[in-house]
Amino acid sequence: MDASQKEAAHRLASDAELICWVDDQDNLLGHLVRSDLRRRGLIGRCTFIFLFNSQGELCVHRRTLSKALYPGFWDTAAGGMVAAGESYAESAARELEEELGVSGVVLTEHDHFFFEDGDSRLWCKSYSAVWDGLLCLQPEEVMEARFLPVKAVLRDAKKKPYCPDAQEGLRRYLALRR
């Protein structure tokens, strides 16, 4: 199986995952297949993990072209949908390890907010962590990653496509830090 076939298989598996379905107050209503939740315009739960190095640089990564939402976009956070039976914190730890190969770090919780655009309706929790080790990228989801100064990321986001949901999370995170 070549890389594009692996990405396609991963996308199908991802679309079939059972994820948390919630109401407009973030009360759990049940679990639905990701593609069904999105198709029906229902609300799910999502995590964002802002990964910094000890110099304060933020890890940004480029999403693969096979992603259902924002393919090829740059992302300021690891993260994703909260799976059936998971808490937000468990989802954040899992996503950080899956996407960037980072585990065993302290996750600091920062914010809980609602995000909506044409493609997503999400209750989100954001976290941050510090990591100076190597990154091990999940090839089905992440094409490349690097640490950049936050000011450079904010400038870059004005010129390149960045995921709007994580950008909102980052904007809120930076506002809380002021």
Name the DSSP class of 37: H
Residue 153: which pLDDT band, with cuts at 50, 70 and 90? very high
Span 90-103, average pLDDT: 98
Give the count of beta carbons closer than 10 Å to the beta carbon of residue 149.
12
Lowest mean per-residue pLDDT among 1-15, 82-96, 146-160: 1-15
> How confident is the model over 104-113, as pLDDT tens digits?
999 999 999 9
Residue 95 assigned to a binding site? yes
For residue 17, give the amino acid letter. E
What is the spatial distance between Cα 121 and Cα 111, in angstroms, rounded to a whole number?
17
What is the spatial distance between Cα 47 and Cα 91, in angstroms, rounded to a whole number?
7
Span 132-156, average pLDDT: 97
pLDDT at 16: 80
Work out whether the CA dihedral 78, 27, 83, 130 comes out positive or negative. positive
Percentage of the chain exceeding pLDDT 90:
83
